[in-house]
Copies of this chain bind each other. A is one copy, B any other.
Amino acid sequence: MKQTEIQDTADLLKALGEFNRLSLVYRLCECPQPQNAMCLCDCCSVDASVVSRHLKTLAQAGILKLDKKGRERTYSLDRANVVNQLRALATKIETSL
């Protein structure tokens, strides 16, 4: 197993492994439409600047996609990517021997 692969996976899990960030992810789970940051603020009781940073962290980890359509800035889950990586890890743990 390459070190970089381990690091990449660790980065994804670390990004998900914080209460407020995971709350944001669950919140976005429920949204059929992409959401703007303010709309997401109410799911965790922290300052808007903190939400902004968490969203950035999640986006950098490939968990969220930032959609800049014209003047709107909205976030949505990159479901495929997150699901694939989680499943890949699960499968590896389950089957490698």
Contacts and interface: CB of A to CB of B under 8 A. Distances in A.
Contact of A17 (B13, B23, B30, B82): B13
Interface string A56-97: 000000000000000000000101001100110110111011
The interface residues of chain A, by DSSP majority, are classed as helix
Interface string A2-40: 000011011111111111001101100110100000000
Number of this chain's copies in the complex: 2
A93 B25 CA distance: 8
A89 B77 CA distance: 13
A1 interface: yes
6 closest cross-chain pairs (CB), A and B: A14-B17, A13-B17, A86-B90, A17-B17, A29-B96, A13-B16
